[in-house]
Amino acid sequence: MIRFNDVNKWFGANHVLKDINLHIQPGEAVVICGPSGSGKSTLIRCINQLEPIQKGEIFVDNIQVNKRATNLTRLRSQIGFVFQQFNLYPHLSVLENVVLSPIKVKKIARREAEENARELLERVGIPDKADDYPSQLSGGQCQRVAIARGLAMNPKVMLFDEPTSALDPEMIKEVLDVMVELAVEGMTMIVVTHEMGFAREVAHRVFFMDEGQIVESNAPDAFFDHPAHERTKAFLSKIITHN
Amino acid sequence: MLSHFNFRVILQYLPLFLKGLWATSWISAISIFFALLLGVLACSMRLSSTGFLKKTAGVYIESMRATPLLAQLYFFYFGLPTLHINLNEIQTGILALSLNSGAYIAEIVRAGIVSIPDGQTEAGTAYGLTYLQRMRYIILPQALGVTIPALLGQFIVLVKDSSLVSLISVLELTRAGQLMASERFMPTEGFFTVAAFYLVIYFVLKYLSTLWQNRLIYREP
Ligand SMILES: Nc1ncnc2c1ncn2[C@@H]1O[C@H](COP(=O)(O)OP(=O)(O)OP(=O)(O)O)[C@@H](O)[C@H]1O
Ligand SMILES: [Mg+2]
């Protein structure tokens, strides 16, 4: 579903992604963790070309994304992206946030888009908030709207960039529950997170990134219980004592 | 001072003033409309990544802001006919006012746009919206909201600037005052009345902008 071949990216002289190779199967849920600045966000932002890459190839569903000829609008309409800071549109109601792209990008009729949006809001547990504005919602509710907004495009892949790290602790679970459900239903997803409970529960693989490289990748139990690399061990001991 | 005013003459000239008020109002309204269009367009061009569009918009904005409106007005009034473009006085006035104000509005809107967090553009991009769709549905509605006070200021400047078209003999508010002043030798009464009518326009504009702002208002996240 997603394939990286020797992907390299620089921000100016800063080499941020170094020879990244990975292959993610349809229906797979992958968690990426690693220290701040290791390139986790950059890696997933390259998948929908929010960031261009300078070397290598990225394929989504067998379509090479880092080519001029690629229809980015079409590509992006197949990839849901959930941001750490939600990035909901503050001037639009919750319902309008969810239907905007289906109507404008996918050209779905408004009626149908709204019906679908209400179903999705139901699914993420906030059917009664459709007419509220983002500023009237809690962080957890905002993030669930953002997930609904992603799902409304009927994407093949969902990408999450630290979806719970801007949330108060008591709201983390309500967002994770929605994500667990998605994973269980077989959504292909890549999640940058340090929520190790989530990783153990639903991830098929966990990647550890450091200094622009994927240092280690393994099934979650093996990853947490028997990390192979020193850097992984050091990182895990830090976040575990911290939790 | 008011006790020395000759209200009888003011009353006598009232029809002329009302005619002037009407002309100032609609000339300003049309100019504001075109200035907004131009301003948003020039601003989008200036923020685009295409070098040619960026430069064109830059030249337009700088040259309008760096030269006096009166010079621009005369330039169009005397210059366009030599290019065989024949506009009447009112059309020339609207052209100059719209072009001039458009440049200022472009800068005001630009300030509004850059104040919108990058995350908004990113979300729109990630969800497949094109540049124009992002502008239309995400950025501009928010940017215009925060720029209403500055836009109001610019609209008021435009209304006041529209008095310059009296110099190419358009009968508007200021011209009405000039006529009264010169025909009856009453500059004080004439221009006082003119000022009072501008004040009326100001309050109407202010009221409209409050309505507009209330419509766009949303609570910050
Ligand atoms: N837009 C940008 N311009 C220049 N450098 C950037 C930009 N975005 C990220 N970087 C740099 O790229 C590197 C990787 O950043 P990235 O945001 O991908 O890390 P991260 O693993 O997501 O970190 P965090 O956990 O703090 O979110 C960092 O050194 C960062 O300073
Ligand atoms: Mg990050």
Mean pLDDT computed over B107-134: 93
ipTM: 0.90
Distance of CA A76 to the CA centre of its chain: 13
- Checking if the pLDDT of B111 tops 50, the result is yes
Structural domain boundaries enclosing B100:
7-216
Burial environment of residue A163 by CB neighbours within 10 A (0 to 12, 13 to 18, 19 or more): buried
Taking Cα atoms as reference points, which of A69, A89, A21 lies closest to residue B126?
A89
Residues of A in contact with B117 (CB under 8 A): 87
Contact A7, A19 (CB under 8 A): yes
Cβ atoms A182, A158 nearer than 8 A: yes
Query: How far is A156 from B42, CA to CA, in rounded Å?
Result: 38
d(CA B122, CA A170): 28
Whether residues A91 and B141 touch (CB distance < 8 A) is answered with: yes
- Supply the DSSP string of A46-115, one letter for each residue: HHTTSS--SEEEEEETTEESSSTTS-HHHHHTTEEEE-TT----TTS-HHHHHHHHHHHTS---HHHHHH
Q: Does A133 touch chain B (CB under 8 A)?
A: yes
Does residue B173 lie in a domain region? Answer: yes
B132 pLDDT higher than 90: no
Let me know if residue B2 belongs to a domain.
no
Reply yes or no on whether the pLDDT at B3 is more than 80: no
Contact criterion met (CB < 8 Å) for B219 and A50: no
DSSP-based three-state secondary structure for A165: coil
| Secondary structure class of A2 (helix, strand, coil) | strand
Residue B82 domain-assigned (yes or no): yes
* The Cα angle at residue B39 between residues B166 and B47, in degrees rounded to 5: 150
Virtual torsion, Cα A97, A102, A105, A111, nearest 10 deg = -110
Q: Is the CB of A42 under 6 A from ligand 1?
A: yes
Quick check: is B70 in a domain?
yes
Is B127 contained in some domain?
A: yes
* DSSP code of residue A163: T
For residue B161, how far is its CA from the centre of ligand 1 (angstroms)?
49
Span of A232-236, B108-112, B141-145 with lowest mean pLDDT: B141-145
Q: Please indicate, yes or no, if residue B210 is contained in any of the structural domains.
A: yes
DSSP letters along B119-154, please? HHHHHHHHTT--HHHHIIIIIHHHHHHHHHHHHHHH
What average pLDDT does the segment B141-166 reach? 91
C-alpha distances (whole Å) from A71 to each of A29, A80, B122, B126 are: 26, 16, 17, 13
Give the CATH number for residue B175.
Answer: 1.10.3720.10
- A interface test, pick of B127, B130, B136, B216 with most A CB neighbours within 10 Å: B127
Give the Cα separation of A99 and A118 in Å (integer). 10
Answer whether A232 contacts ligand 1 (Cβ < 6 A): no
Per-residue tokens: A204: 């098929």
Residue B1 lies in a domain: no
Segment B157-167 mean pLDDT: 93
The DSSP symbol for A24 reads: E
Tell me what pLDDT residue B65 has. 95
Average pLDDT over residues A7-30: 96
Residue from the list A74, A91, A134 with its beta carbon closest to the beta carbon of B142: A91
Average pLDDT over residues A104-114: 95
For A22-54, what is each residue's pLDDT tens digit? 999 999 999 999 999 999 999 999 999 999 999
Between the CA of residue B99 and those of A93, A113, A221, B84, what are the distances in Å? 36, 41, 67, 20
Whether B142 and A105 lie within 8 Å, measured CB to CB: no
How many domains does chain B fold into? 1
What pLDDT sits at residue B216? 66
Q: Kindly report, residue by residue over B32-71, the tens digit of the pLDDT.
A: 999 999 999 999 899 888 899 999 999 999 999 999 999 9
Q: For residue B149, tell me if it sits in a domain.
A: yes
For A78-82, B142-146, B155-159, which range has the lowest pLDDT when averaged over its residues?
B142-146
DSSP string, B156-200: HHHHHHGGGGGGGT--SHHHHHHHHHHHHS-HHHHHHHHHHHHHH
